[in-house]
Copies of this chain bind each other. A is one copy, B any other.
Amino acid sequence: MGHGMASRTDTKTRILDAAEKLFAERGFSETSLRLITSKAEVNLASVNYHFGSKKELIRAVLARYLDVFMPSAAAEIQRLFKNPELANLNEIFSSLIKPLLELNQVRHGGTTIFLQLLGRGYIESQGHLRWFITTHYGKYLEAFVKAVSASAPHIPPAEMFWRLHFTLGTIVFTMASADALNEIAEADYGEHNDTEAIIRKVIPYMAAGVSVPILAKE
């Protein structure tokens, strides 16, 4: 099973680069392998040769980001825990900004692409992706949940479960429609927000929602 080097960029990489861009823009099922391979300037059959199937290509595209993001995010959380004073929610959420923006160095537009892929994946793949992420990156997620729970101790675990998924929905839906929202915002309010600006807008929103006290039932 030796691996030869291709003349230009690696065929596998060319496919991944073209695929992630198209997947993020149009969704998985709306993106055909023929479109991917023509943008990547490789042969149609090479997708199945290198990845086996479209489904596995989707996983490979996501894994390339998750493998960078998850350890980096976990390290940031760890760093917070080491800190003597208990971090507040805004700080915990903000600690993800650096790992997210680092993805822009991995690839141009990486942060947006990653978050859009995450959103598409959660919505399109009826639970498959959720399973894939929790089984492959569960240890990283646990640390994050633990940190959030510790800084909002008045929220019981079951309630926190729901609120963290509200949070996931907030960020994921926002990024999936970020381009469209920016167009409207630009037309109506004359302001354009890049990915970092949107992230910085959404963090206070999520932090406030996660930590809001539970009302006594009427």
> Which A residues form the contact surface with B (CB < 8 A)?
26-27, 29-30, 119-120, 122-124, 126-127, 130, 157-159, 161-163, 165-174, 176-177, 180-181, 184-185, 188-189, 191, 193, 198, 201-202, 204-212, 214-215
Give the distance to chain B from A186, nearest Cβ to Cβ, in Å: 10
Secondary structure call for the A interface: helix
A204 is contacted by which of B29, B168, B185, B212 (Cβ under 8 Å)?
B212
Chain B residues contacting A158 (CB-CB under 8 Å) are 185, 188-189, 191
Knowing A161-B189, A169-B172, the reply to whether A177 touches B208 (Cβ < 8 A) is no
Pair B123/A163 contact, Cβ less than 8 Å: no
Pair B169/A173 contact, Cβ less than 8 Å: yes
Knowing A169-B174, A173-B169, A173-B172, the reply to whether A188 touches B161 (Cβ < 8 A) is yes
List 8 interface pairs A-B (beta carbons < 8 Å), by A numbering. Answer: A157-B189, A158-B189, A162-B193, A166-B206, A172-B173, A204-B215, A207-B212, A208-B212
